[in-house]
Amino acid sequence: MRHPGFGTRLFRSQAFHYQALRTMGHSAASGANPGECLEAIGRIRDEDAESWYTAWHAFGERCEKLSVAEGDAVSRGKSLLRASNYYRTSEFFLPPGDPRRLQTYRQSAGSFVRALQTLKIPHKIWKIPYERMSMLAYYLPGDEARPLILAFGGYDSTVEELFFWIGHAARQRGYPCIMFEGPGQSNMLREYGARFTHEWEKPLKVLLDYAEWEAPELVKCRKVLLGVSMGAMLALRAAARDKRVDAAAGLGGFFNMQQAALAQLPGIGRWLFRLGLSGLFNRLAQIKASRDIGRRWALDNGCWSIGADSAFDLIVRTGDYTVAPVAQDITCDVLIVRGERDHLIPSSDSAQYRKNLTRARTYKEHLLRAADGAGEHCQAGALEQFHQVFFDWTEGFSARRL
């Protein structure tokens, strides 16, 4: 679809365009059908969160019904994978306090678990004790001679969506994979209200201790920590502290969250923040959010997941989310993959990584091009190009360490 002045897009709105492309892109892992996605998109009014919810949720229900119709187990299981992804997409722009967020997340997670069962995908579901809560993880066994991939998301993804980002691709190649969440994400945020922590080594330690106890074969596995989006920064921070991590990879992540957030603001917003004029800053943020659903969502989601009480407080709190304080403690292999047309990550972050990660055993950065269809944030719509880079790198560092 071409929109005058916007090029080839699914919506004029950047937020709706990107999220629709993200959902459709999961077709590579049976998480979507382009025809279903285009039909849903056709029913949505741009920047209208309610029509977004209604259209995607309806396709989630349709796919869930297909899973109990007559047909082979593979077709029914794939219908459940699509249902899980469409349900996840439907709740995305709802306000944090909307009860449909938790209800729909439970539908998404339930569909995903039934998909694994129907497709007979070997797996274990772990509900790991964490500070009087339960941290959810899915273990997909593989070849024990290959590195274990430990994958988690960022600012907004769910642990079930990680199957489409990396779990399915890992299975195809025989890699064991653990997909997990931490505070501020997925089940922990929706069920318990747990807020993000910049000390990601804490949930990682709990996960690894539990995994090595429940699956002793993982103790000797080389371990690759993969963070998606905001998770890239958290992966590097965690790898600096837990030396069981042999390599850390970031898909579309920033070096410094506060700098990335400020880069999204108009000049007057950055000026007000640096002067500490919180009242004027908050007023400006509300005006901007009222005119752009992407800004409104980013503000609401940040206050919800990080635990801020205003736009100004949110930007202040993001100051803890940076690689800088631990950069010299990162001694594992590192891969950073970014998109040429990433609308969230400043291009200057590339220089920040190179300047600061001087003690990494090896450092590789890969830029994927817009002309190749892979220039979006986290390579939405072209994940297989990321997979080619990631698994080539994984096999390379793994071979060197044999």
Asked if residues 158 and 186 have their Cβ atoms less than 8 Å apart, the reply is: yes
pLDDT at 6 over 50: no
Q: What is the mean pLDDT of the chain?
A: 95
pLDDT the model gives residue 400: 66
Give me the pLDDT at residue 47, please.
96
DSSP secondary structure of 66-94: HTTSSS-HHHHHHHHHHHHHHHHHHTTTS
Encoded tokens for 390: 């990631």
Q: Report the pLDDT averaged over residues 64-79.
A: 92
What distances in angstroms separate CA 176 from CA 151, 248, 398, one per listed residue? 11, 16, 14
CATH superfamily to which 123-256+321-401 belongs = Alpha/Beta hydrolase fold, catalytic domain (3.40.50.1820)
Of the candidate CATH numbers 1.10.1740.10, 3.40.50.620, 1.10.540.10, 1.20.1440.110, the domain formed by 14-121 belongs to 1.20.1440.110
In the numeric block, the tokens 């969440």 are attached to 181
Sequence-distant (≥ 6) Cβ neighbours of residue 210 within 8 angstroms: 126, 128, 137
What are 262's two structure tokens?
A: 């400020």
Segment 58-83 mean pLDDT = 94
What pLDDT shows up at residue 2?
44
- What proportion of the chain, given as a percentage, has pLDDT over 90? 94
pLDDT band, residue 329 (cuts 50/70/90): very high
> Is the pLDDT assigned to residue 74 strictly greater than 60?
yes
**Segments making up each domain of the chain, as ranges:** 14-121, 123-256+321-401, 257-320
Q: Quick count: other Cβ atoms within 10 Å of Cβ 370? A: 13
More confident residue, 78 or 7: 78
> Residue 16 pLDDT > 50, yes or no?
yes
**Residue 216: per-residue pLDDT:** 95
State both tokens at 45. 């009014």
pLDDT tens for 344-364 read 999 899 999 999 999 999 999
Using the predicted structure, report yes or no on whether residue 274 has a pLDDT greater than 50: yes
With vertex at residue 246, the alpha carbon angle to CA 243 and CA 250, rounded to the nearest 5 degrees, is 105
pLDDT at 70 (0 to 100): 79
pLDDT > 90? residue 1: no
In sign, the C-alpha dihedral spanning 315, 229, 134, 100 is positive
Do residues 214 and 124 make contact, with C-beta atoms less than 8 angstroms apart? yes
396 — pLDDT class (breaks 50, 70, 90):
confident
pLDDT at 108: 98
Per DSSP, the three-state class of 381 is: coil
Mean pLDDT for the stretch of residues 12-23: 97
CB 41 within 8 A of CB 11: yes
Predicted confidence (pLDDT) per residue in 190-242, tens digit: 999 999 999 999 999 999 999 999 999 999 999 999 999 999 999 999 999 99
Q: Say how far apart CA 325 and CA 177 lie, in whole Å.
A: 29
Q: Please check the confidence at residue 397 and state whether its pLDDT lies above 80.
A: no
Q: What is the pLDDT of residue 401?
A: 60
Evaluate whether 42 touches 59 at the Cβ level (below 8 Å): no
Q: What is the mean pLDDT of residues 315-328?
A: 98
Q: Is the pLDDT assigned to residue 5 strictly greater than 60?
A: no
How far apart CA 10 and CA 12 sit, in angstroms, is 7
Q: Write down the pLDDT at residue 3.
A: 47
pLDDT, tens digit, 9 for 90 and up, residues 88-120: 999 999 999 999 999 999 999 999 999 999 999
Lowest mean pLDDT among 2-6, 314-318, 373-377, 380-384: 2-6
